[in-house]
Amino acid sequence: MPAIVLVGPMGVGKSTVGRLLADHLGVGYRDTDDDIVAAQGRTIAEIFVDEGESAFRALEKAAVRAALAGHDGVLALGGGAVLDEETRALLAGHRVVYLSMEVEEAVKRTGLNVARPLLAVNPRKQWRELMEARRHLYEQVAVAMVATDGRTPEEVTQSVLDAL
């Protein structure tokens, strides 16, 4: 079972904070997006374009299941992993921490990053919709929430450790 599972929107800093947490705890770091890319030999954007979002979510569910069973360190999930009901059920009983940020912080951090397929058209509007659709799902699976707005990865890391 992972020591900590990080959830939250893309760009919130799950991988940066996840690596800092892993270093601090002396454990490994793993990311389900990386697992999917390695297994598929394609980027996430290519999977979205080739097969669509629902095919990606199925791959993601399998990746989450495998990582929860096979990893003892810090695990970061893709920002949309919580959309899938079965994936949310898999998270029950785990130490899940929700890294949160406000819409304006999200636009500032990732608004121009067209490599993220869900944000290509109108970043601010899409961010607002994503946050509205997902916030309660992050809250549902998490045992703790840490706000990241205007804070450094080191500060966020310390807050995660304090929260657990």
Residue ranges of the annotated binding site are 11-16, 33, 57, 79, 116, 134, 151
**Applying CB under 6 A, does 123 fall inside the site for ligand S3P?**
no
DSSP state of 118: G
Residues annotated in a binding site for ATP: 11-16, 116, 151
Per the CB < 8 A criterion, the answer to whether 117 and 42 are in contact is no
Minimum Å distance from CB 44 to ligand S3P? Answer: 5
| Nearest partner of 133 among 80, 95, 88, 93, judged by Cα | 80
Q: What stretches of 92-159 adopt beta strand conformation (E)?
A: 96-100, 144-147
Q: Closer CB to ligand S3P, residue 60 or residue 159?
A: 60
Considering only 2, 13, 18, 78, the residue that binds ligand S3P (CB under 6 A) is 78
Q: Say how many residues touch ligand S3P, by CB under 6 A.
A: 10
Query: Can residue 116 be called a binding residue for ligand S3P (CB under 6 A)?
Result: yes
CB 108, min distance to ligand S3P, A? 16
Enumerate the β-bridge partners of residue 30.
Answer: 75
DSSP 63-108: HHHHHHHH--SEEE--TTGGGSHHHHHHTTTS-EEEEE--HHHHHH
Q: For residues 14 and 95, which CB has a smaller minimum distance to ligand S3P in the complex?
A: 14
Q: Which residue ranges make up the site for ligand S3P (CB under 6 A)? A: 10, 14, 33, 44, 78-80, 116-118
